[in-house]
Amino acid sequence: MTNDAPGHVPLSSLRGNGDSQAPAVPASESNSGSPLGAYLDNHLKAHLEDLYDSLWADCDQALRKGTYNTVPVPQHGDHRWGISVVARVGGDVLANLTDELMGINAALSSAHLMFSPNQLHTTVRSLEGFQDFVPEVQVRHYVDQVCRQLVDLVADLGPLAIDYRGLGGSLNGVFACGYPSRSLMELRERLHIDQQSTGSLGVRGIDEARIRDMAHAALVVFQAPHAVNAELADYVARRRETSYGVQIIESLSLVKYEPTMTSVNMIELAEIPVGT
């Protein structure tokens, strides 16, 4: 599940001088200003910084006026909350964002759907829409698809990784802003191209006609009733530039969701090693 928002654009439109293969050097040796260094596409990074700023401007005003969107519990056939391949948040990033979850919870003026620490993740790609039942054939199909597209990816382009920096939000909720490595964007493109030949096996998913650019980790999904929440807006605004660390992705998870008004209920269907 993500706080889906405008800004998902064709990968080709984000490519510029930063599209060349990343050199195989430790990220710490780069002077690009990000711990991921040479593994980031600078053109995409600049695009996401502008996008996160724009989304937050709308969210900030909506929180102060109580005019944010509310996201209903999905029903069979909904395009969101379907089978997805995700990167779970762990290590120091998880510890840092867990602290923020506690602070956010204290700043809420009304109840919303909050992610628990063990549910924090970034969606790589949403593969299907929401289904009441997920058949095993779909699980096997998507595990095979992801494994096939991971071949030689890390060796060619460097680690799958996300630099989490700054809290932000959209009209749908609050999230930690994430900046993906070039290899993660390549995986998204490979999966998108692969899926075009077969389409969705079940319910059409929200990513069927797009490639994600954002790599955020959702923290809160807004729920009814609407309420003014200036304290939450202030809390996020003070942390727009906070660094939460870099997540090196060593495995991916194929998941489904069984959300309620109070819980995400992300259920793992398979774990997929990334390899080298």
Residue 113: inside a domain: yes
Q: How far apart are CA 69 and CA 221, in angstroms?
A: 9
Q: What is the pLDDT of residue 65?
A: 97
Closest CA to 159 of 274, 77, 243: 274
Give the mean pLDDT per block of 10 residues along the chain (276 residues).
44 32 31 64 92 98 97 75 94 98 95 93 94 91 94 90 97 97 95 84 79 96 94 98 96 91 87 87
CA distances from 183 to 19, 232, 242, 274 (A): 11, 34, 24, 11
Long-range CB contacts (within 8 A, 24+) of 102-105: 103/235, 104/174, 104/219, 104/220, 104/232, 104/235, 104/236
Total domains, the chain: 1
DSSP structural state of residue 34: S
Q: What is the pLDDT of residue 33?
A: 57
Residue 269: inside a domain: yes
Identify the burial level of 59 via C-beta atoms within 10 angstroms of its C-beta, where 0-12 means exposed, 13-18 middle and 19 or more buried: buried
The CATH number covering residue 103 comes to: 3.90.1140.10
Q: How many CB atoms lie within 10 A of CB 182?
A: 24
Question: Which domain does 77 fall in, by range?
Answer: 54-273
Residue 5: inside a domain: no
Residue 129: inside a domain: yes
Distance, first Cα to last Cα, the chain: 27
Distance, C-alpha 189 to centroid of its chain:
15
Residue 264: inside a domain: yes
Residue 38: inside a domain: no
Residue 224 sits at φ, ψ, to 5 deg, of: -70, 155
pTM: 0.85
Residue 19: inside a domain: no
Q: What is the pLDDT of residue 14?
A: 32
Residue 33: inside a domain: no
Tens digit of pLDDT for each residue in 160-211? 999 999 999 999 999 999 999 999 999 999 999 988 877 777 777 778 888 9
Strand partners, 125: 85
Q: What is the pLDDT of residue 25?
A: 28
Strand partners, 162: 180, 247
CA distances from 173 to 3, 40, 111, 137, 234 (A): 6, 26, 12, 33, 15
- Fill in the amino acid letter for 129: G
Q: How far apart are CA 241 and CA 243, in angstroms?
A: 6
Q: How far apart are CA 247 and CA 239, in angstroms?
A: 19
Q: What is the pLDDT of residue 4?
A: 52
